[in-house]
Amino acid sequence: MVVTATTEHCASRRILTSPHLRIVRADQVRPDDLIVSAFQPSVPGRLARADYFASGPYPARPGPYHPGCGCGVCGLPKVQGPNGTVVLTTGYPWDTCDPWPADDLLLIRPRLHLS
Ligand SMILES: [Zn+2]
């Protein structure tokens, strides 16, 4: 794992030392995975730059995607991916759904395995 950008957000900064971080497609995120960062579009020849959230990391609560749900984000062109759209949370940490193009990459910490 290469960290390509840092953040001043306390919760995000702490989690960057976790050995469990991994990069997955949005449609591979599972319930209770902690979503740490998205990535800015990559510049040719450069590593994709981490793009942190003002909210800090947040737990995934995936749900069905409804383009006409009316939250103001679902249905926007930027959430439509060539392989479809997935919703990673609804109503938290924002008042809207959290739809992503299915093939967008995210930095996550997989949900903790409780023994
Ligand atoms: Zn919505």
Those residues whose beta carbon sits under 5 angstroms from the ion ligand 1 are 69, 71, 74, 97
| Residue 83: predicted pLDDT | 94
How far CA 65 is from CA of 54, 77, 89, in Å, comes to 23, 14, 10
Asked whether residue 37 is assigned to any structural domain, the reply reads yes
The count of domains in the chain is 1
The reported pTM is: 0.85
Asked whether residue 26 is assigned to any structural domain, the reply reads yes
pLDDT confidence of 2, banded at 50, 70, 90? low
* CB contact at 8 A, 56 and 10: yes
* CB contact at 8 A, 108 and 35: yes
Residue of higher predicted confidence among 46 and 37 = 37
- Cα of 14 vs centre of ligand 1, distance in Å, is 30
Asked whether residue 21 is assigned to any structural domain, the reply reads yes
Asked whether residue 87 is assigned to any structural domain, the reply reads yes
| Residue 98: predicted pLDDT | 96
- Cα of 70 vs centre of ligand 1, distance in Å, is 6
Q: What is the pLDDT of residues 63-110, one digit of tens each?
A: 999 999 999 999 999 999 999 999 999 988 889 999 999 999 999 999
